[in-house]
A = this chain, B = another copy of it.
């Protein structure tokens, strides 16, 4: 078993609890006591496993990068680029309850670290880059090679914005409605890609 917090080692349980708390409360607002309470270990025990709070953050980001990579690899199983892009949008819908409650895990973390000018900022941005590169490749496969990165950023921006608004307004229905608009936009991009392929 690679995860599962019951029998996992203390180090992994710390990372899992920190991950959850950083998402729900933000990095700066989460104290060592918060994590210690969640894992049910003493505060001093941290410094056997991690030298500092920043080091926990690094471990959390690394875990998220690994999980994201696996998820993207899983989406590759979809039949065609259009279906793969749809699975990205679908992610918004699947996670709509946690997004409504806590925003997008990637966007809120990168935003906070950018404001704090935190050293781990660049590593966190890699999460965005992972999505950006994956989306751009799928748009290219769709026949939109020239504008692939711009379209990837556009789709990424849409998902980020929807998450931001749903979080602020604490509104789940907003996500459902906007997802439909995004899917319509994507259909249009697919048609445009098909036309461009045909003319080539």
Q: Chain A contact residues (Cβ within 8 angstroms of B): what range?
A: 35 or more
A154 → chain B, closest Cβ, in Å?
A: 5
Cα of A20 to Cα of B156 in the assembled complex, Å: 28
Number of copies: 2
Q: Does A111 contact B (CB under 8 A)?
A: yes
Q: Is the interface of A mostly helix, strand, loop or mixed?
A: helix
Cα of A161 to Cα of B169 in the assembled complex, Å: 16
Partner of A125, one of B102, B169, B177: B169
Q: Does A70 contact B (CB under 8 A)?
A: no
Contact indicator B177/A150 (Cβ below 8 Å): yes
Residue of B at shortest CB range from A103? B111
Cα of A162 to Cα of B153 in the assembled complex, Å: 8
